[in-house]
Amino acid sequence: MHVEQIAVFLENKSGRLAEITATLAYHGINIRALSVADTADFGILRLIVDDVESAKKVLKAAGFTIGITNVIAVEVADRSGGLAQVLMTIEKARLNVEYMYAFVNKSGENAVLIFRFDDMERAIVALQQDGFTILSGEQVCAL
């Protein structure tokens, strides 16, 4: 159960992030989760959106360089130690976290952790064996 994530590569200059979000908003595309990472020269905006195909089209048409990657969405209780439990499972399986980010729909309910692992299939198996819920892209967008 993978979730499609859009990675947008952008130069570090004022207004680029606003331009991307305005482009998506204009086309009625809802951002469900995001992460921004940067270096001195460029940034990477990682997005989970409710309409990947439309987002790809409009971002490419607006001149942005994009890539699509698969990530895993893990649902955990929004409480102290939720992330630690997931990471203990990952450590036990000897997997590497390439990156992660998270979001909470409402405080006190479940959180969703978005992961990219060095071995995605092994990660899914390990997490499910330890009782974690893996969400589909549709489930993430319905939150």
What pLDDT, on the 0 to 100 scale, is given for residue 108?
60
Residues 103 and 53 in one domain: no
What pLDDT, on the 0 to 100 scale, is given for residue 62?
93
Residues 26 and 43 in one domain: yes
- CA–CA gap between residue 68 and residue 140 (Å, rounded): 17
Using DSSP's 3-state secondary structure scheme, residue 125 falls into helix
Residues 65 and 89 in one domain: no
Structurally, the chain folds into a number of domains equal to 2
pLDDT tens per residue across all 143 residues of the chain? 799 999 999 887 788 889 999 999 999 999 999 999 877 778 899 999 999 999 999 999 999 999 999 999 999 988 888 899 999 999 999 999 999 999 887 656 788 999 999 999 999 999 999 999 999 988 888 77
The alpha carbon of residue 23 and the mean position of all alpha carbons in its chain are separated, in whole angstroms, by: 19
Residues 47 and 75 in one domain: no
Domain with residue 90: its CATH number is: 3.30.2130.10
Residues 81 and 50 in one domain: no
| Domain final position from 55, 70, 85 | 70
> Residue 10 has which token pair?
């952008």
| Domain final position from 70, 88, 111 | 70
What pLDDT, on the 0 to 100 scale, is given for residue 43?
86
Residues 75 and 125 in one domain: yes
* Cα-based distances in Å from 113 to 24, 29, 60: 23, 21, 27
Residues 66 and 94 in one domain: no
Residues 62 and 118 in one domain: no
What pLDDT, on the 0 to 100 scale, is given for residue 22?
95
Residues 53 and 99 in one domain: no
Residues 9 and 60 in one domain: yes
Residues 13 and 42 in one domain: yes
Q: What's the domain range around 23?
A: 3-70
The pTM of the full predicted model, rounded to 2 decimals, is 0.88
> Residue 20 has which token pair?
């991307």
The alpha carbon of residue 125 and the mean position of all alpha carbons in its chain are separated, in whole angstroms, by: 19
